[in-house]
Structure formats: structure tokens, C-alpha cells
Structure 1
């Protein structure tokens, strides 16, 4: 059976390229602007408060994991925030390699690992649009096990620690994306797949991207009326069914064009277009470049 999330994650090529261990003490707050970079945070001990632009505040507790595939404004603070006039905290690098925020003396009440992951795909922007804007995982046993392994690696200072941590964090990212039990995710593929009816239609789109799907046919796969399916899909996934299908077809086309293994006519046929010209028009409108030019520019880079 085709696994839509696995296909998207495989094309994305996630990797944990930068992380730092942060300890907090007393009241503090900090704000960062990440210009659309993928941001993640795992709370190892204690708790804190997170506010992401466009979302309600979230209280993060030990074992919680947050993934924001395209972060812009992110604010964090202690559970009891400082007075409004107190300036943003500046993380202070410690000799241990950790960064400390808030009170510089006394016992700490928070330990978290945060940083940026990267998506190796040149088409990350399009693929990220299929994911939730925010994934918050809590109470997921498998994820808790990985978090515990991350915590142990940081504490024990064993050889090859950085290599092990990088791989553990990559697994953590993928596990978070595929978690549904105990997961709070904004609209996107994850929420769509958590709905059994919608998941059936999404799998069929991924299994047969060449088929000339209509909303009515997809609604039948989901065992829903056309109107109920359209509304339910749009609410859960964040885009209309045919818009999702178009985004996935374009992601497949760009992947094939980068590999330079297929001609435009063959790619058009493999993603469901009746002719190379129809595919070229759709690709140019969606990507901003004709497929041939896109393939050449990818080869040059």
C-alpha cells in the first residue's frame, strides 16, 4: 500500500543540521525570527511557554516535541513570564556547551533541545505546503523513547555523540510527522491521514496520480458525498482536493526533472496529463518556469 506521508518525507530529505541545548532559570522571554526555516524543539526537563505567529500559546512539558516546517515568528518564555518591560533574554554560552537563559545563578528549571532542521529537496517549499504549519506531539510512547535516547546522549558525553544525535534527531523529525495519537497538528497532510475517510482518498491520489481524478470520484473513494468530502478535506488538509493533487503532481514532476531521466512527454504521462503541452502549461503556471528550462537550471546547479 502506498504511504503518502512516507513519499512526501522521502522527497523532503529531512536532516537535523543545527541544534543546541538550552537551560532556563527564573523568569525570561525570548523571541526569534527564522525567515521560513524549519524549527524544532524538544523539552527534556521542566516546562515553558511557546507562541508561534498565527497560533494560540502552547504550554510545553517534559517529553513534548514541536516541529514548525516553515517558522517565521517564534516566542518562548518561562511559564511565569517576566514583566513586560524586561528585555528579551540573551542566551549565554556556558563552558559545558550549553546555553543559559534567564537567571544566570541558581538551579535551572528547564532543559530543552532546539534548533533548525533542513530539507534537502530543492523543492522543499512546495512539499512543506503539504505539511501542517505546526506539529505538537505529546504522550506518544515511541517519541518519548527517542527523546530519552537524545537526553542520554547529551548527559553521557560518549564518543561519536554528535553523529548519534544527528541520526536520532532525524528519526525524531520523521516520527513526529507520522504521529497521530496524542498529536495536535494544524491543517495539512498529517491531519488528513488521521481521518480514515480522507486517508483513503489521499492514498488513491498517491497510488494513481495519472488518473484523471474528479472531486466526485475522490468523494466516492472516501465514502462521502461530494460536498461533505470537499468541505472535510479542505478543513483538514488546508487546501481543496484538486489543489492538493496538483501540488503532489508538481512535486513528482520536479523530482523527475531534477533526475533528468525522463523526457517532458513521459513525465506528463506519468503524472496524469494527456499531452506534453498541457503539462508544460500547468507546470509553468505553478512553478514559474517551463519544465525544460527548470530541468536545465537544476542540472547547472
Structure 2
């Protein structure tokens, strides 16, 4: 089996954690204004569609954002967008423009939203991203630029069903932004999936693990995929990912198991086999250790919610 390229591994991880994007607001601003969206606990983003603004963050220089720039804030760091390169407390003076206004030549249009995962904020994708990532229009490439323009066309024309279309486009925006970060930004931080994907040998082991999570993997087998000795592989994997290969394998299997159990079409025994467990007690123990509750409890919650 051919190994999966980096973006396919990312797609597998994002699908398992069930990425969902939501558009929160799309203000048109003029005059003196400032806007902050931190404090929600969500991974947020701001896309500049027109004009420009200044980004203020704690212990960081003021940065200018221009039309087409994308700002990602994966860890809900405090931030403020403003019409000026300085700001004041409280951040509450907004001057909203709903259409073309001849009295205000300088208009800034923003598209603001957030990303959610079934696992909350604790997942290997967000952990590998910095507190603030700015993807400039000039370096984003044609695909990201086309996607941003399509989002603002939907927003401007507001055809029937434009809200879910915007949300789905925002899903894609996040995936493309993460791919851009992995491929073009400097060395990612250790202790994250991003760092592991940047290492060719460790990535080969992850390719194999993600392609066949149900296989009877051992440390020796994974080290063989990476063409490394057992000890060197274990040390390198832990340094990059932040946990041992077998710990990562167990966590990934339990993520997949939770997804299958939420779907409701498989029994606990059926899910257990699909993720590579032959012993139901061992499967239940691993599931509870990773998620904090057993598979039976998850089934009960899903029934109460009317999911199945």
C-alpha cells in the first residue's frame, strides 16, 4: 500500500475529530473601531475581505492585516482588531456599515468565525499550531485566495442557503490553512502531530499506522516502517509527538472507536474488532482511560439524545 501524503493524514485526523466551522459575524466597519472575540474558549479566525486593520496581542508587536489576509487563533489567545495601531479599554466602540456610504471612504469588512471538534480543544491538530498564525494574501496561493473570494461572494449576494454554504467553506478554509502552515512555515513545535509530519521517517510510521490502525502493531513493526532501530525510533517519536508510539496508537484507536460508537451502527464488540482489539475488557479499559468514560456510557448518552 502506498503511503498517504501529508494532507491525506491530516484529512484522516480532521475527519475523525469531526471538524466543524461556524461563521459568527461579518461586520463592515469604518471610522474609529475595535473588535475582540477572545474569551470563548474556541479556536477562532478572522478573514479580511476589504480594507485593513491592526492586530493587537499581549507581548507581541502590533501587526497590520490587509485585504485577503487570514488570521488563525487556535488557542483563544487574547487579541484585538482595531482601526488604529493603538487601542483603549473597553473594546466596545464599533461603527458598523451595512452598505456603501459616501461619507466613509475607508471601510473594513471582516468574516469572523470559530472551529469546533467533537473532542473539544484537546486534539493533535490544534496542539501543533501556534497561538497566532497569519497567512498573508500574497503567500496564500491561488486556492486559498479563490476560496476566500467565494466566501465573500456568498456573503455579499446571500442566496438561499448561504449560511450552511459559508460554514462548509469555512471547514475547507481551516484545512487549507493548516496544510499551508505545515508545508510552508518553519519547523513546527515538538510534542505535536505537525512536528511528526515534518519528519520523513516518523511520518512513514504514522502513514502506516493511520492506514491500518487495526493491525497488530508493535514497536518493532512501527520502527521497521520508519527504517529505524527500535530504540532510536521510540526516542525520536516521543520527542516529536510527545508520547510513545504505542500510546499514540491506543489514543488514535480510541478516537476512531468513539466516532464509530457515536454513529450507532456497530455494536461495542464490532467496534472493538475494527480498531484492533481481541479482548473486550481490554478495549473497555483503554476507552475509559483515553476518554474518561466507558463505551457503554457513551451509548447511553447517544440514546438519550435520540441519536440512535
- C-alpha offsets along residues 257-283 of structure 1, whole Å, 9 cap, x if unaligned? 223333333322322223111111111
Q: Match for 1:273 among 277, 298, 305? A: 277
Q: Could you tell me how far apart the structure 1 residues matched to 2:47 and 2:237 are?
A: 30
Q: Match for 1:117 among 112, 115, 118? A: 115
- Pairwise CA distance, 1:158: 5.1
- Pairwise CA distance, 1:235: 4.6
Q: Is the 8 A contact 2:26 2:111 kept in 1?
A: yes
The more displaced of 37-46 and 273-282 is 37-46
Alignment pair present for 1:64 and 2:66 = no
Q: Is the 8 A contact 1:178 1:190 kept in 2?
A: no
Alpha-carbon spacing, 1:291–1:143, altered in 2? closer, same or farther (3 Å): same
Q: Hey, what does 1:42 align to over in structure 2?
A: 47
Alpha-carbon spacing, 1:17–1:93, altered in 2? closer, same or farther (3 Å): farther
Alignment pair present for 1:150 and 2:151 = yes
Alignment pair present for 1:89 and 2:91 = yes
Q: Match for 2:289 among 285, 292, 300? A: 285
Secondary structure of 2:183's match? coil
Alignment pair present for 1:197 and 2:201 = yes
- Pairwise CA distance, 1:203: 1.4
Aligned residues: 285
Alpha-carbon spacing, 1:8–1:93, altered in 2? closer, same or farther (3 Å): farther
Q: Is the 8 A contact 1:258 1:295 kept in 2?
A: yes
Unaligned residue ranges in structure 1 (runs of 5+): 99-104
Counterparts of 1:16-35 in structure 2 under 5 Å? 16-23=21-28, 31-35=36-40
Unaligned residue ranges in structure 2 (runs of 5+): none
Q: Could you tell me how far apart the structure 2 residues matched to 1:170 and 1:176 are?
A: 10
Q: Is the 8 A contact 1:32 1:73 kept in 2?
A: no
Q: Is the 8 A contact 1:189 1:237 kept in 2?
A: yes
- Pairwise CA distance, 1:9: 2.2
- Pairwise CA distance, 1:15: 3.4
Q: Is the 8 A contact 1:63 1:144 kept in 2?
A: yes
Query: What is the TM-score when the length of structure 1 is the normalising length?
Result: 0.76
Alignment pair present for 1:298 and 2:263 = no
Q: Could you tell me how far apart the structure 2 residues matched to 1:47 and 1:92 are?
A: 13
Alpha-carbon spacing, 1:56–1:295, altered in 2? closer, same or farther (3 Å): farther
